[in-house]
Each structure stands twice: as C-alpha cells, then as structure tokens.
Structure 1
C-alpha cells in the first residue's frame, strides 16, 4: 500500500486532457490539493469543478509553459494560493511525427519549446519549493515526475526530433536526480508507449493515417494507466524512489 498525499500540493501541466487530466484527478483522489495548468481554461475549470465536488481542493492556472514568465507565475501562484508545493507532474508535451527530409521545421520548434524548454522552465521554478517541502512535514519527501515516452529510449524512423526531445527529457531527469536525491527530492520519469489520448490529433493528416494503421491492432493504453503509474511513484514511502517506469500496451511489439 502507498502513502496518501493528504496535506500536500501537486501541480500538473497539460492538465486539460489525456494523461495530465487523469493524473490530476488521481492525485486529488490520493488527498493532494491540485493546481491544474494548461492553456484551455474551460477544460481546466470543468476538471476543477469535478475535483472540488469530490471533496478535494483544486485551482486552475491558464498558462503556456513555453513562456518562462508564465511557467514561473504558475508555480508561484500555486504556492501562494495552496500554501506549498510537494509534487510536480511535468506532462505538457506534443508529438509531431514525420520524415526529417522536407519536414516543416516549425513542428520541430514547437516540440523543442514544449517538450524540452517548457519542462525545464517548470522544473527550474518548482525545485526550490520541492526542496523546502522535502525538508519538513507531512511527508519529508517531494516528487518531480517528468513524462517522457518510449521514444526517449529508442530512436525510430519518422520520429527523429520527437526522439531528440524525449531522449533529452530522460537525460535531464537522471542528471537532476543525482543532484537532489540526497535531499529527498525524488526525480522520476515515466515512459508511455501508445496511449489513447489527443496526442495524435496534432499530426498532419497524412502522418496521422500512417500512425493509425501502425497501431490498428494494438490495444492502446488508457490515460488512467499512466495516472496509476504516476500515483504509484509519488505515494511510495520516503525511503523508496521509483526512478523510471516504462509502460507499453501488452501487444505493442515495437518502440
């Protein structure tokens, strides 16, 4: 059994859909007050209403974390309104696949800005608060969970820059873990395989069809499967750090 998160505060980026939404809902079920961060405020407001109706606390923060000032403001508002910060789920990301040859490089820019820079900005702003939370009650430990991908472990054709961003997330996660682990700030990475979310909706139509055919016979993961993995990480006792979880559909043979 894990330890509940009562008396703690969690911040989740990309909380308006998919893994972020499911993770926020699950952390609230575990007792955390939750700051919901994303660009689509209407969806955040609906999720916050659901969470508060179930008896937990939630605030919505409309922010594009690729803007460092907005990422910092999201963290600071969380601490100002909810009193502290114990858990961060760095989930916001985008997957824009396709061949490198002739690629629209604005897609590359978008992935680097969100998958790498946005993640870095949130981590940088949150770390002092996580260190502070880990030094005191109620749990004397804090967690930063970065959402990467199976694409961060193995490169594949037609996902070159997405691979680049997720390999970067994995490398950053491990380096940071080594820096702060002795202060009981646990730095973890979750690497999902194919998940049924809106991620594929951002693909160009011709690429989306190729992806659909590739996974036509795969029983896709649900966002809740990843939320369960995140909850497992952050509810471990202080002595135990889950550094990495790779989770794929059972019948997904490739990367």
Structure 2
C-alpha cells in the first residue's frame, strides 16, 4: 500500500497491543500509508520509541497507555482520540495472549487471562467505539482472531475457545450493523511474542519452534489489515485467513 492520494482517504486508526508483533507491524504499515495511528499497549516505553520513529519518518502517530482488560482504560483511550480528532474511523482489536498448556495442567489463572485479554478485551474495544461509529454511520472494527478460530488443537483448547468466540461475536456485530464494517483477520503461524510468556514449557517450546521454522512476518498480517481498510465504504471484507503456504 502506497501513500494515500488525498487527505480525505486518511483515517484515524486505533490499534491495541501495538507495542510488538502484529500490532507494531500494523502501526508501521498504516502510518506509512498515510493514516493517523493511535497506538495503545501497557508497555509505553516501546510505544514511545515507535511513535518517535514514525514521526521522525514523517508519519502521523501518537500513543497512550492501554490495558484492554480494564473497561475504563479502553473507554478513555477511545474517547481521548475522539476528542482530539473528532472521529474514530477504524479500531484494530489486536491485543492477545497465548499461554498454551494441557487442560489437565489446570492453569486456571492463565485460562482467565486469555478470556480477559482475547475476548473481553475485544468486547471492551467494541463498546468504546461502536456508539460514535453508529452515530456517524461510518466506521470499521477489525478483530484479530487466529487460525485457532477455525480448528482446535491439543494444549490450545482455551486459546481456541477465545478465538472461536471472537469470530462469533464479530459475525453477530456484522449482522447488526449496516453502516459499520466488521472484519475478522485470522493469522496462522506468525512471528511475534505470543509464545514467549507463560504456559507449559513443552507446549510453548513446540509453538516457538514451529513459528521459527515456518512463521510469517507480522508485516504480512498488517498488509491484510491494510487491504480491508482500503476498500470502499460499501465493501466489507468480512474474513481474511492468512497462513504460511506450508502450514497444514
């Protein structure tokens, strides 16, 4: 995607989980395309460095601390952008965690963390932007799911459950709205930090090994997101699945 041809095509885009991986790549891609990106995550030092890099390159970006598990944090994040810019055109609900483990390991705290970040975090994002989008009769909500939203694998049962739920709520949201576009992007193995924290060491190690062997660069997912955003207002790209060619 090249630089936008007219200012009218420039969009105000909120990106959650923007401090690394797909979120960071999306911020870079959309900023380079001429959009204004508003980046949120808990690791503000990373966001600060990224925004500095983007603005020094002549792009338009800002950041704020964000915890998607806290409704007030998400609401403040969206409302601040709305106040500064008068609108929010796109929300990219990207924040996610994936501590893999067998169910019998009873990692209940990590189960709840996945539900809080992967599912409740998406709902909090929707709740924060949907009223203003419906009022303007324009907007785009992009939810990052996974190929784990299309199949279930051992050690990933809870993670898959959260991603199946993201697909389900996205389809319901799509059916309920005729002016707000809804897109689900489901990445396959993608190089990121998803497998770096928590979970069962053997399961996480297997996931990291597979990602290192065949994983897509996060920029591939960012380009898919950019494609969906770039379509005319009357065209809603509902689902995009992006896998490495060798992934089964």
Query: With structure 2 as the length reference, what TM-score do the two structures score?
Result: 0.93
Q: How many residues align?
A: 244
| Residue pairs, 1:19-98, within 5 angstroms | 19-98=22-101
Q: Give the match for residue 195 of structure 2.
A: 200
CA distance in structure 1 between the partners assigned to 2:56 and 2:156 by the alignment = 41
Would you say 1:162 and 2:162 are equivalent positions?
Answer: no
Q: Using a 3 Å threshold, how does the CA distance of structure 1 residues 215 and 46 change in structure 2: closer, same or farther? A: closer
Map of 2:205 onto structure 1: 209
CA deviation string 1:9-38 (max 9, x = no partner): 000000000000111111112221111000
Partner of 1:232: 227
- Aligned residue in 2 for 1:251: 246
Shift of residue 3, structure 1, vs aligned partner: 9.6
Unaligned runs of 5+ in 1: 136-140
Moved over 3 A (4+): 1-7, 212-216
> Which residue, out of 186, 193, 210, partners 1:191?
186
| Deviations 1:218-254 (CA, angstroms, capped at 9, x unpaired) | 421010000000000000012211100011111111x
Q: Does 1:117 align with 2:142?
A: no
Are the aligned partners of 1:196 and 1:220 in contact in 2 as well (CA < 8 Å)?
Answer: yes
* CA distance 1:214–1:33, change in 2 (3 Å): closer
What displacement does 1:54 show? 2.3
Offset at residue 59 of structure 1 (A): 1.5
Corresponding residue for 2:141?
A: 144
Structure 2 unaligned spans of 5+: none
Match of residue 153 from structure 1 = 150
Q: Which of 189, 204, 218 does residue 223 from structure 1 map onto?
A: 218
1:107 and 2:102 correspond: no
On the 8 A contact 2:189/2:210 being kept in 1, the answer is no
Helix, strand or coil at the partner of 1:157: coil
SS of residue in 1 equivalent to 2:104: coil
Note the C-alpha offset of 1:213. 4.3
Cα distance in 1 between the residues matched to 2:194 and 2:3: 31
Question: What does residue range 120-139 of structure 1 map to in structure 2 within 5 Å?
Answer: 120-133=123-136, 135=137
In 2, Cα distance between equivalents of 1:234 and 1:89: 10
CA offsets, 1:34-73, max 9 Å, x none? Answer: 1100000011011111221222321111011101111101
Give, in whole Å, the separation in 1 of the partners of 2:36 and 2:55: 9
Per the alignment, residue 138 of structure 1 pairs with: none
Which residue in 1 is equivalent to 2:12? 9
